[in-house]
């Protein structure tokens, strides 16, 4: 779904609409819509209509900004500037729903409510109070505060949250005319973010609730699993493109609980990552009640029903394979992944070309660093027998290239949770049918 152009008179209409809602608490029922489609209908149960455009923020793991920007482009969002671990774009409630359901490597979908300077708690209070909270929250909303401060005069996180929440409650009390200083907070959860960087305050409302990495399929824990959003970003950083060649092998010889092969299969089958879960905004009074259902209906229509995939997942631990199979079944992709118990140091393939992507065990997951070094040395020897394959390794092992036995063609720093890792890319020779331009573009990422 492409973002629609917004002519000047349409922008004027939205401004007028917004002012009327603020002063009269009554939405104008639009007699027209320039973004005509069945996903932009007005829901009369909501405070704000579908046509109310908002500024949205998408936090992403550092290093995955451009990958996530490409995902947004594929979803029809052509203008999404990336800046220091987040992307910004304009959208309405249907976009909020679509992004929560379909975005693979974004961490959350936030509504940007305000930005302002604050050097004192009085300035913070005034800035928070100025936000029209009565349009976003109700008097029974369960308000949770999420604060952080970097290089700013206001650095006490607990105090930030306390002052901000007092301002929100006071605003709601004044506008609803309840006279209360506190509310029961027994209703829908609303997480308000107050982030201060160099004294600039950014106030957001979290539409996602639980992080978008929680797809719903991973129910069992196994040895520091890779975050699903990071896994999806890593997959999009490789040459694995099942839409162009679904038979191209994809292998993870250290699959653990199965996150990488499962995410690869979901990508290949166009299964939306958020299809199995709910999101906080769906319970808000200000959000259209049909937005999420419509987004999921649209997303389901794009799922591929059949595919001839070659996705291989192996691990030396039988328990890991058992867990990975269970997760794949929950994700609906079990029949598309070939699981096996196997030693990664003996990995081989009859296919000339393929993609190997893995997050080998290291330090906390295996034991001594010396064991990891030996494992990577033996794994590197096995990979030398597949010179035309592309390999991508995420590891926190220092001097990984030394033990793997080959200098990476490309490497960059990424974070797996709070662990600093290197992402090492090894490019094999492209197949004769490989799109040379696409190949060269991927190398630049």
At 186-198, the pLDDT tens digits run: 999 999 999 999 9
Residue 434 above 70 pLDDT?
no
Distance, CA of 166 to chain centre: 31
Q: CA 164 → CA 86, 135, 435, distances in Å?
A: 23, 17, 53
Which helix (DSSP H) or strand (DSSP E) does residue 440 occupy? helix 436-444
Residue 114 above 50 pLDDT?
yes
Mean pLDDT, the chain, integer: 86
CATH 3.30.1360.200 for domain 8-206: no
CATH 3.90.950.10 for domain 228-273+281-444: no
pLDDT bin (cut points 50, 70, 90) of residue 35 is: very low
pLDDT bin (cut points 50, 70, 90) of residue 19 is: low
Place of tokens 């049918």: 433
More confident call, 31 vs 304: 304
pLDDT bin (cut points 50, 70, 90) of residue 443 is: very low
Q: Mind giving me the DSSP string for 164-204?
A: HHHHHHHHHHHHHT---SS----S-EEEEEEEEETTEEEEE
Residues 254 and 357 sit within 8 Å (Cβ to Cβ): no
Tokens of 210: 């639980």
Q: Tell me, yes or no, if the two domains 8-206 and 228-273+281-444 fold the same way.
A: no
Residues 179 and 173 sit within 8 Å (Cβ to Cβ): yes
Task: Report how far residue 107's alpha carbon sits from residue 210's, in angstroms, rounded to the nearest whole number.
Answer: 9
Any residues with CB less than 8 A from the CB of 137 and at least 6 apart, and which? 143, 168, 172, 190, 286
pLDDT bin (cut points 50, 70, 90) of residue 361 is: confident
Residue 84 above 90 pLDDT?
no
Mean pLDDT of 380-402: 95
Residue 16: the pLDDT is: 58
Residue 52 above 50 pLDDT?
yes
Residue 42 above 80 pLDDT?
no
Residues 392 and 423 sit within 8 Å (Cβ to Cβ): yes
Task: Report how far residue 11's alpha carbon sits from residue 66's, in angstroms, rounded to the nearest whole number.
Answer: 29
Burial of 26 by CB count in 10 Å (0-12 exposed, 13-18 middle, 19+ buried)?
exposed
Name beta bridge partners: 424. 393, 411
Residue 369: the pLDDT is: 80
Q: Where are the domains of the chain?
A: 8-206, 228-273+281-444
Residue 241: the pLDDT is: 93
Residue 312 above 50 pLDDT?
yes
406: which DSSP letter? S
pLDDT bin (cut points 50, 70, 90) of residue 30 is: very low
Among candidates 96, 105, 98, 99, which has minimal Cα distance to 67? 105
Among candidates 272, 256, 233, which has minimal Cα distance to 416? 233
> Quick one: CA dihedral 414, 158, 210, 143, positive or negative?
negative
pLDDT bin (cut points 50, 70, 90) of residue 435 is: low
Residue 430: the pLDDT is: 77
Q: Mind giving me the DSSP string for 31-75?
A: S--SS-STTS---TTSSS-TT--EEEEEE--TT-HHHHHHHHHHT
Residue 10 above 70 pLDDT?
no
Any residues with CB less than 8 A from the CB of 335 and at least 6 apart, and which? none
3-state helix, strand, coil in the chain (%, to 5): 35, 20, 45
Residue 240 above 80 pLDDT?
yes
Task: Report how far residue 79's alpha carbon sits from residue 82's, in angstroms, rounded to the nearest whole number.
Answer: 10
> pLDDT tens across 126-168, in order?
999 999 999 999 989 999 999 999 999 999 999 999 999 999 9
Mean pLDDT of 66-87: 92
Percentage above 90 pLDDT, the chain: 73
Residue 349 above 70 pLDDT?
yes
Residues 309 and 283 sit within 8 Å (Cβ to Cβ): no
> pLDDT tens across 208-221, in order?
999 999 999 999 87
Mean pLDDT of 261-267: 98
Residue 6 above 50 pLDDT?
no
Name beta bridge partners: 201. 116, 196
Residue 5 above 50 pLDDT?
no
Least confident residue range of 40-49, 93-102, 385-394: 40-49
> pLDDT tens across 322-335, in order?
999 999 999 999 99
Residue 236: the pLDDT is: 97
Mean pLDDT of 359-383: 84
Strand residues in 189-246 grouped as ranges (E): 189-197, 200-206
Residue 37: the pLDDT is: 33
Tokens of 248: 């191209």
């Amino acid at each position: 779904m492409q973002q629609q152009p917004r002519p000047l008179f349409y922008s004027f209409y939205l401004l007028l609409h917004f002012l009327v809602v603020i002063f009269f608490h009554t939405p104008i029922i639009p007699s027209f819509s320039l973004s005509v489609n069945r996903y932009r209908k007005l829901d009369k149960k909501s405070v704000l209509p579908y046509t109310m455009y908002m500024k949205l923020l998408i936090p992403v793991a550092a290093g995955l900004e451009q990958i996530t920007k490409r995902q947004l482009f594929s979803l029809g969002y052509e203008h999404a500037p990336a800046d220091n671990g987040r992307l910004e774009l304009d959208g309405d409630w249907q976009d909020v729903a679509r992004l929560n359901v379909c975005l693979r490597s974004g961490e959350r979908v936030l509504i940007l409510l305000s930005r302002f300077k604050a050097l004192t708690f009085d300035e913070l209070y005034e800035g928070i109070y100025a936000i029209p909270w009565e349009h976003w929250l109700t008097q029974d909303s369960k308000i949770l505060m999420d604060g952080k401060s970097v290089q700013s005069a206001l650095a006490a996180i607990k105090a930030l949250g306390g002052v901000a929440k007092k301002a929100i409650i006071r605003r709601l009390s004044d506008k609803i005319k309840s006279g209360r200083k506190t509310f029961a907070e027994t209703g829908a959860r609303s997480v308000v973010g107050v982030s201060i960087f160099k004294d600039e305050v950014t106030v957001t409302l979290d539409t996602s609730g639980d992080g978008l990495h929680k797809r719903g399929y991973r129910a069992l824990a196994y040895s520091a699993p890779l975050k699903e959003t990071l896994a999806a970003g890593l997959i999009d950083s490789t040459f694995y493109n099942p839409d162009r060649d679904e038979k191209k092998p994809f292998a993870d010889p250290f699959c653990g609980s199965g996150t990488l092969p499962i995410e690869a299969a979901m990508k290949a089958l166009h299964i939306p990552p958020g299809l199995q879960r709910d999101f906080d905004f769906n319970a808000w009074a200000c959000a259209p009640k049909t937005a999420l259902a419509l987004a999921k209906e649209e997303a389901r229509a794009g799922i591929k029903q059949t595919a001839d995939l070659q996705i291989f997942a192996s691990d030396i631990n039988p328990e890991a394979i058992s867990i990975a199979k269970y997760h794949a079944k929950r994700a609906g992709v079990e029949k598309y992944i070939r699981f096996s118990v196997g030693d990664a140091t003996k990995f081989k393939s009859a296919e000339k070309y393929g993609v190997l992507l893995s997050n080998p065990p290291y330090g906390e997951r295996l034991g001594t660093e010396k064991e990891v070094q030996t494992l990577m040395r033996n794994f590197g020897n096995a990979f030398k027998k597949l010179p035309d394959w592309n390999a991508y390794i995420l590891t926190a092992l220092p001097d990984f290239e030394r033990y793997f036995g080959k200098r990476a063609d490309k490497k960059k720093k990424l974070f797996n949770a709070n662990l600093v890792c290197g992402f090492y890319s090894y490019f094999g020779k492209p197949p004769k049918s490989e799109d040379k331009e696409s190949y060269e573009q991927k190398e630049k990422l």
